[in-house]
Amino acid sequence: MSPPHSLLLLFSSMFFFTYFPGLVVSADVTLSSIEIYTTHEWLKATPSLYFQCKGDNKTELLDVKETNVSYTFKGEESWQPLTNFFGKKCKRCGVYEENKILYDDVFDEWELCPSDFTTPDGRYIHFKEKEFNASFLCPDCLPISGVSVSAPPSKNQYQSKKGMHGAVIVLLTILVLAILTLAILVIYKYWQKKKREQDQARFMKLFEDGDDIEDELGLGTII
Ligand SMILES: *[C@@H]1O[C@H](CO)[C@@H](O)[C@H](O)[C@H]1NC(C)=O
Ligand SMILES: *[C@@H]1O[C@H](CO)[C@@H](O)[C@H](O)[C@H]1NC(C)=O
Ligand SMILES: *[C@@H]1O[C@H](CO)[C@@H](O)[C@H](O)[C@H]1NC(C)=O
């Protein structure tokens, strides 16, 4: 039973390394710069902005107080990184303004994806007219998205999914064929053995019958 085992191991490891090369990587996203063009709360002079992704904690942007001023960051501030990715999965994130009385105001909310960081230094600029312009950095996102950098992310995800299905089907087919071949071989060997035994038994019986006939004949001649 050792050849099918090693075959299975070989195929599953091939499968794993082909399709999940960047899966274990975690990639931090930092805010590089932000400029807001408006505030949503007119009662308060200074806005309290924060960045948040669904499932993550809030990150308060305490420095951002004035409109039409570009704030730049080194990426090492106490509140950085903003968020992080595990694998290719996108996160739904947004820039909001805290509102003490009503619901928080939304500057913008969008899907932030590792594949968005396409420049050589891993930068992504999110601009929303009349609201804000922010640039994010994620150098570790480049190896995660890999060759998909220039391709549209949705198409690429579809293709890799299709490829994965194909690989699973091929793997299963090979496995089934291997098991089937093995089973046929075992059955054939068993049948051969059985047949040989039967032949032997019939031969022995023939011998015994022959003896009986001879005995009868001998007895007959004597009489
Ligand atoms: C959110 O903050 C709390 C307290 O600081 C911390 O224990 C928790 O791990 C944080 N959660 C995430 C997803 O960062
Ligand atoms: C900021 O710039 C926008 C146009 O870019 C302008 O409409 C707005 O009045 C400016 N706000 C301030 C406070 O200067
Ligand atoms: C947004 O900010 C980036 C980086 O600071 C800058 O290169 C870009 O020109 C800005 N875009 C707009 C529309 O202001």
Which residues sit with their C-beta closer than 6 Å to ligand 2?
37, 67-68
Per-residue confidence (pLDDT) for residue 22, from 0 to 100: 46
| Of residues 85 and 21, more confidently modeled | 85
Ligand of minimum distance to the alpha carbon of 38: 2
Mean pLDDT for 188-199 is 94
Q: Is the CB of 57 under 6 A from ligand 1?
A: yes
pTM of the predicted structure, to 2 decimals: 0.58
Least confident of 12-16, 107-111, 190-194: 12-16
107 CA to middle of ligand 1, Å?
24
Per-residue confidence (pLDDT) for residue 76, from 0 to 100: 92
3-state SS, residue 54: coil
| pLDDT tens string 91-125 | 999 999 988 777 888 999 999 999 999 999 999 99
Q: Which residue pairs from 80-84 have beta carbons closer than 8 angstroms and sit at least 24 positions apart in sequence?
A: 80/28, 80/30, 80/31, 81/28, 81/29, 81/30, 82/29, 82/30, 82/31, 82/51, 82/53, 82/136, 83/28, 83/29, 83/51, 83/53, 83/56, 83/59, 83/112, 84/26, 84/27, 84/28, 84/29
Per-residue confidence (pLDDT) for residue 151, from 0 to 100: 42
Angle between helical axes of 153-222 and 2-19 (0-180°, round to 10) = 170
Residues with Cβ within 8 Å of residue 79, at least 6 apart in sequence: 59, 60, 61, 62
Domains along the chain with CATH numbers: 26-145 (2.60.40)
- Residue 5: pLDDT band with limits 50, 70, 90: low
- Which of 57, 84, 86 to mutate to test ligand 1, by most ligand atoms within 8 A of the CB atom? 57
Rounded CA-CA distance 83/92 in Å is 11
Q: Is the CB of 159 under 6 A from ligand 1?
A: no
3-state SS, residue 147: helix
Rounded CA-CA distance 96/156 in Å is 31
Mean pLDDT for 128-135 is 94
| Residue nearest to ligand 2 atom 8, measured at CA | 37
Residues with Cβ within 8 Å of residue 11, at least 6 apart in sequence: 171, 174, 175
Per-residue confidence (pLDDT) for residue 166, from 0 to 100: 81
